[in-house]
Structure 1
Amino acid sequence: MKNILFVCTGNTCRSCMAEAIFNYFCDISGFKAISAGLFVINGSTTSKNAAEIIKNNIKEDIRNRKAVQINRNLLETSKLVFTMTSGIKNILREDFARFKNKIFTLNEYVSVHSDIIDPFGSNIEAYAETYDQLVYSIKLLLQKLKGEAGIF
């Protein structure tokens, strides 16, 4: 199995939504998304609004999913690492320099020139906007991965 790792700040909104979206839309054999956060609060779970957006759109229940702290093992076992912002990418590349060649922002990898909006603490409409952003970028990512399948 080839892991694709999505990373955001706390692993309660963007990256866990990206994990669910990727796994829902992925039709490439042998690929699976996982996710983690840069600064995880111990015991935290998926935000209520993120879980609701995922449930309403792709019928997956991620309410009780526990946030995961980024660590070296996750980076070692992942083929590619996609962050939600350039700031998170820069921190990971500095803290885990050995893996810098496989760490990108999701949007830079698919040639979209913006970060993924952090909806944390916002209303459900903000989460829906982030969901739409993620779906768009992840569909582009899947197309790109299909074209690069031979290099993995």
Structure 2
Amino acid sequence: MRILFVCTGNTCRSPMAEGMFRQMALEAGLSAEVKSAGVAAIPGMSISRHAEAVLRDHQITDRLTSTAVSEELVNWADMILTLTQGHKRQLLYAFPDAASKTYVLKEYVDERENAEGELQELDGLLAERALQAALGGRLTEEDSRRITELQQRIPVYDISDPFGGSREDYEKTAAEIREALEKLLHKLLKEREQEG
């Protein structure tokens, strides 16, 4: 399995996810190639010193530099996991054919029943609201109420951005990423078990 993690500049969140998941998969015996990239990355930049320090704390010494999302990387990946909903939107705007394999990390590991259906319903209603606004119209009151209801029920899937923050901010973000990656690993191992 080839997994691509995506954030903004590929200097904080996605390289931490890449390094941590590569190590977790190796330790669990899961065959996975892991890369990361950014939707607005400047290629070849060093990752943030705090991100590097957090990875070192987890005995991860991979030499990671920033990479921009490209068609080649998108085609390489079996699964693309973004760190925020905004990253997913940007990626799908540029690479609409990747829709079937692109998820927000926390969305993909959400175990709530009907989570995917609720997200699709909300996306559809928000698209309809944008269309109506562009045409000078409005949503029905019922649809507006349903949007509010879904927004209150669906958790926020974005992983916080520590960019420019303290070492503590990076540690909090790394803990948030690690929690989601543990769920991802469990899900992938379970799928492998069911297939084999």
TM-score by length of 2: 0.71
Secondary structure (helix, strand or coil) at the match of 1:34 reads strand
**Which residue number corresponds to residue 124 of structure 1?**
167
Q: Deviations 1:120-149 (Å, cap 9, x if unpaired)? A: 000000000001001100000011111223
> Which of the residues 135, 145, 148 maps onto 2:188?
145
Structure 2: which 5+ residue stretches go unaligned? 112-154
**Which residue number corresponds to residue 50 of structure 1?**
51
Displacement, 1:28?
A: 4.1
**Which residue number corresponds to residue 118 of structure 2?**
none
Secondary structure (helix, strand or coil) at the match of 2:170 reads helix
User: In the alignment, residue 77 of structure 2 is paired with which amino acid?
Assistant: S
Q: Are 2:179 and 1:136 equivalent residues in the alignment?
A: yes
Structure 1: which 5+ residue stretches go unaligned? none
Whole-Å Cα distance in 2 between the matches of residues 129 and 41 of structure 1?
25
User: How does 1:8-87 map onto structure 2 within 5 Å?
Assistant: 8-26=7-25, 27-56=28-57, 58-62=58-62, 64-87=63-86
Q: Deviations 1:73-126 (Å, cap 9, x if unpaired)? A: 111111100000001101111210111110100000011833111100000000
Pairs aligned (count): 148
Q: Which structure has the larger Rg over C-alpha atoms? A: 2
Higher share in helix: 2
Whole-Å Cα distance in 2 between the matches of residues 25 and 65 of structure 1?
17
Whole-Å Cα distance in 2 between the matches of residues 42 and 77 of structure 1?
18
The answer to which of 119-128 and 27-36 deviates more is 27-36
Contact (CA 8 Å) 1:19, 1:33: kept in 2 or not? yes
Higher share in strand: 1
Contact (CA 8 Å) 1:28, 1:146: kept in 2 or not? no
Whole-Å Cα distance in 1 between the matches of residues 74 and 163 of structure 2?
25
TM-score by length of 1: 0.91
- Please provide the CA RMSD for this pair: 1.5
Whole-Å Cα distance in 2 between the matches of residues 82 and 28 of structure 1?
21
Whole-Å Cα distance in 2 between the matches of residues 42 and 30 of structure 1?
27
Secondary structure (helix, strand or coil) at the match of 1:118 reads coil
The answer to which of 96-105 and 35-44 deviates more is 35-44
Contact (CA 8 Å) 2:81, 2:103: kept in 1 or not? yes
Contact (CA 8 Å) 2:5, 2:17: kept in 1 or not? yes
Displacement, 1:44?
A: 1.2
CA 1:73–1:42 in structure 2 vs 1: closer, same or farther (change >3 Å)? Answer: closer
| Identity %, equivalent residues | 33
